[in-house]
């Protein structure tokens, strides 16, 4: 008997490419490489007056367009992240930001984060499709693991991760100090074996036929993804 078991072989493993600046477009939204000159003033206006959006983010709130512009310049110059601006195709307005981070092609792992969606974008097909487009690119490109992490106290983010099909993996205690406060970090992930079924769940939910004339959903995404998730968040 082998008392030192090893993980299964990963046949024909080739690390996927690191994401380069690109545009990802769906039915409801388009993700464009974040650019300070093009997007900063528009996004600052979209977020203005909603300082609570920054409670769990590493930076902000921003109290001037110039301050937000400097932040965009800083984060877009960091090669470890790839930031996107989200445009609502129906409204023709820039309403959100998110990024790839912790990009590790050699491990086949990548994370979505730095998510800040304006109030006009939240709880809409636009916000769901924005996340879907980032997952789709990564897992279709050959990544084996797509991560979502958040402050363990951020209940809306934990609910969103579960609704979107991410499986709960645990809490890292005292993982970070953010804005002078302790942060325990809740971990969620999707792995490549789950992607075909999750992709179908997204296809069904994002289909215009899933919404009535008042825009109300017929099928709930959380019900569709719940058939696939390996583990649920016990706090929800």
CA 154 from centre of chain: 14
Tokens of 94: 């820039």
Mean pLDDT, residues 94-110 = 98
Q: Kindly indicate the confidence band of residue 123, based on its pLDDT and cuts at 50, 70 and 90.
A: confident
pLDDT at 122 over 90: no
Residue of 144, 143, 126, 161 lying closest to 31 (CA atoms)? 126
CA distance 113 to 24: 16
Mean pLDDT, residues 120-128 = 91
pLDDT tens digit string along 195-223?
Answer: 999 999 999 999 999 999 988 999 999 99
Tokens of 93: 């307005």
Mean pLDDT, residues 93-107 = 98
pLDDT at 1 over 70: no
Using a pLDDT cut of 90, give the percent of the chain over it: 94
Mean pLDDT, residues 46-50 = 92
The pLDDT mean for the chain works out to: 96
pLDDT tens digit string along 156-186?
Answer: 999 999 999 999 999 999 999 999 999 999 9
Q: Kindly indicate the confidence band of residue 3, based on its pLDDT and cuts at 50, 70 and 90.
A: confident
Domains and CATH numbers, the chain: 24-225 (3.40.630.30)
Is the peptide bond between 129 and the residue preceding it cis, with omega within 30 degrees of 0?
no
CA distance 148 to 214: 31
Contact 112, 148 (CB under 8 A): yes
> What pTM was estimated for this model as a whole?
0.96
Sign of CA dihedral 52, 117, 168, 185: negative
């Amino acid at each position: 008997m082998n008392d030192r078991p090893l993980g299964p072989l990963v046949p024909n493993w080739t690390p996927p490419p690191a994401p380069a600046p690109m545009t990802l477009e769906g039915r409801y939204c388009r993700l464009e490489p974040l650019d300070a000159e093009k997007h900063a003033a528009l996004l600052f206006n979209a977020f203005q007056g909603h300082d609570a959006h920054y409670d769990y983010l590493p930076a902000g709130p921003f109290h001037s367009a110039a301050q937000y512009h400097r932040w965009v310049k800083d984060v877009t110059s960091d090669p470890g992240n790839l930031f996107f601006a989200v445009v609502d195709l129906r409204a023709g307005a820039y309403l959100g930001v998110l990024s790839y981070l912790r990009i590790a092609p050699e491990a086949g792992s990548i994370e979505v984060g730095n998510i800040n969606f304006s109030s006009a974008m939240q709880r809409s097909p636009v916000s769901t499709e924005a996340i879907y487009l980032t997952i789709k690119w990564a897992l279709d490109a050959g990544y084996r693991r797509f991560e979502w992490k958040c402050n363990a106290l951020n209940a809306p983010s934990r609910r969103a991760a579960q609704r979107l099909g991410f499986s709960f993996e645990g809490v890292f205690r005292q993982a970070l100090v953010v804005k002078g406060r302790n942060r325990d970090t809740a971990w969620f992930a999707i792995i490549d074996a789950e992607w075909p079924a999750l992709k179908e769940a997204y296809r069904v939910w994002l289909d215009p036929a899933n919404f009535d004339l008042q825009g109300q959903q017929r099928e709930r995404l959380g019900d569709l993804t719940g058939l696939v998730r390996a583990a649920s968040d016990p706090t929800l």
